[in-house]
Structure 1
Amino acid sequence: MGFADQRFTVNLSILFTDLPLLARPAAAAAAGFSEVELWWPWADSATPGPAALDGLRGAIEDAGVRLTGLNFYAGRLPGPDRGALSVPGEESDRFRANIGVAAGFAASLGCTALNALYGNRIAGVDPAEQDALALENLALAARAADRIGAILLIEALSRTESPRYPLVSAPAAVEVVDRVNEATGLGNARFLMDLYHLSMNGEDLPAVIERYATRTGHVQIADNPGRGAPGTGSLPLADLLDRLGKAGYEGRVGLEYTPGDRPSAEAFDWLPRAAR
């Protein structure tokens, strides 16, 4: 697999953020990419109005790129406030209200992967109560994803960056994947393998790949330390992608790294244009 043989998708919520949201799809296309992904673009609204949705849809279509991945509403990202679906009260209500909106927007652009961030532990709330709420909401999300022919992604994050987020290992995330699939009977919940987050948690990445490659619906990369482009840290990302391919993974790899102190358009020199 390596770099040259992979299908890359650019995350427009962490790259090209020096540009307005509606200008980012065209910038990704100008950099040579044909596929993009997004965190939920409206952190302050789980249910933005038609004008906002139509504007972003038009920008993606006009740029000639394809939206391949979209997060459900997850609060304000980036930052420590991760996820909404396991948070009782208003945040969970917002997540539920967002499910149909996000799925409809994804379907309108042919997007086939929806990512649901679990949600932080809340002081004074029994973790078992949060887990029960999470399973209920994830099942709703999985059914909505299934109706549009999409998979539901469940991700482990870095405990350093998200200390109150409960899914901070590959086994913990895959356990939730299994619970959702058992609850719905659909089998469309999959693991999102973010190699940067897993490396931050000290996991044995070759072992994770060997064990979970066939359970994985999407992969995201950034180098470590620094969360920069491949080659700015010490992770052997080309080798890890080779291992993924040999282990049976055939999906996309999302570029979810920061450009550093340069414009995003200059942060792809590690990847020949012909490979984008």
Structure 2
Amino acid sequence: MTYTVNCSILLTELPLLERPAAAKAAGFDAVEFWWPFAEAVPADRDVDAFVNAVRDAGVQLSGLNFFAGDMPAGDRGLVSWVGRESEFKANIAVVAAIGERLGTRAFNALYGNRLEGSSPEAQAELAVENLSAAAQGIAEIGGTVLLEPVSGTPAYPLKTAADALAVIARAKDAGAENIKLLADFYHLAVNGDDVRAVIEDHAKDFGHIQIADNPGRGAPGTGALPLGEWITRSRELGYDGYIGLEYKAPQAEAFTWAIRPVAG
């Protein structure tokens, strides 16, 4: 099983730049991150420090989010955020540059919440424009834009796979071919989607899979979701990418469920 550790939600007891090395020490060869900076266009020295931390740890950066706003404050992306178009588009070049330096090819673009004063139609139109720009910006390095349903945020309009796939279809109609569904089994399950049906219908076209158990968004085995079955079936149907570990657990217990080699 090819796992990648989401170092924005796991190993958080450590400073961010120490987490790739901690993931390596725990026996993993790949990591992924939400946007690891406070702004869309960080200082060059901060980008260099992040790139060097991943390289020095000897892990692959398998995935990276586009800038999503102030996540702790409740923001969930700029893709559909009317009024922040220039900020999102400026971020694309930084994302692509990091991807080129680290060999990253998967980039998650959070859609964004519904906004007072902006119609859903206006947000949908902007989303297609921004997704198209993102897809074009990372196409030069062979990258793929990912779009995901999200739970726990009522204002986030993409709740099911069908919601996200409808947006993806509109973006593809506009010419953005390199965009795929990020199937986060936890979010889909919590939102009441039929995860098995989603896998049967779309697994071969998944751009990425992420997992956490429910209830609690904890490690696999702490809840009731049949994550192993879902992963196995996705593999059988053609998904051959990473499985992102995007759950909440203290560092000491984060990976006790996983069978893996541990660095000596």
Query: How does the TM-score come out when normalised to structure 2?
Result: 0.96
Deviation at 1:266, TM superposition (A): 2.8
For structure 1, the 5+ residue unaligned runs are 1-5
Alignment partner, residue 59 of structure 2: 65
Alignment partner, residue 242 of structure 2: 252
1:177 aligns with 2:168: yes
1:37 to 16, 25, 32: 32
For structure 2, the 5+ residue unaligned runs are none
CA distance, structure 1, for counterparts of residue 131 and residue 67 of structure 2:
12
1:164 aligns with 2:159: no
Alignment partner, residue 273 of structure 1: 260
Deviation at 1:79, TM superposition (A): 5.5
CA distance, structure 1, for counterparts of residue 71 and residue 119 of structure 2:
25
Alignment partner, residue 76 of structure 1: 70
1:220 to 185, 210, 224: 210
Describe the SS at the equivalent of 2:181. strand
CA distance, structure 1, for counterparts of residue 82 and residue 71 of structure 2:
19
1:16 aligns with 2:6: no
Alignment partner, residue 119 of structure 2: 126
1:87 aligns with 2:74: no
Counterpart amino acid of 1:168?
Answer: K
1:209 to 180, 199, 202: 199
Query: How does the TM-score come out when normalised to structure 1?
Result: 0.92
Counterpart amino acid of 1:10?
Answer: V
- Superposition RMSD on alpha carbons, in Å? 1.4
CA distance, structure 2, for counterparts of residue 80 and residue 182 of structure 1:
31
CA distance, structure 1, for counterparts of residue 32 and residue 121 of structure 2:
32
Percent of aligned pairs with the same residue?
51
CA distance, structure 2, for counterparts of residue 93 and residue 72 of structure 1:
13
Counterpart amino acid of 1:49?
Answer: A
Distance 1:139 1:59, change over 3 A: same
Alignment partner, residue 47 of structure 2: 53
CA distance, structure 1, for counterparts of residue 213 and residue 130 of structure 2:
32
CA distance, structure 1, for counterparts of residue 253 and residue 142 of structure 2:
35
CA distance, structure 2, for counterparts of residue 79 and residue 220 of structure 1:
23
Deviation at 1:77, TM superposition (A): 2.3
Q: How many residues were matched structurally? A: 263
Counterpart amino acid of 2:204?
Answer: T
Describe the SS at the equivalent of 1:67. strand
Whether contact under 8 Å (2:25, 2:262) holds in the other structure is: no
Describe the SS at the equivalent of 1:273. coil
Deviation at 1:275, TM superposition (A): 9.6
* Per-residue Cα deviation, 1:10-66 (whole angstroms, up to 9, x for no partner): 001000111101111110000000000000011x31000111000011111000001
* Per-residue Cα deviation, 1:215-239 (whole angstroms, up to 9, x for no partner): 2110000000000000111101111
Counterpart amino acid of 2:70?
Answer: R
Describe the SS at the equivalent of 2:103. coil
CA distance, structure 1, for counterparts of residue 174 and residue 229 of structure 2:
36
Describe the SS at the equivalent of 2:85. helix
1:200 aligns with 2:190: yes
* Per-residue Cα deviation, 1:111-141 (whole angstroms, up to 9, x for no partner): 0101100011101211101111111011000
Describe the SS at the equivalent of 1:192. strand
* Per-residue Cα deviation, 1:83-111 (whole angstroms, up to 9, x for no partner): 1121111x332111101011111111000
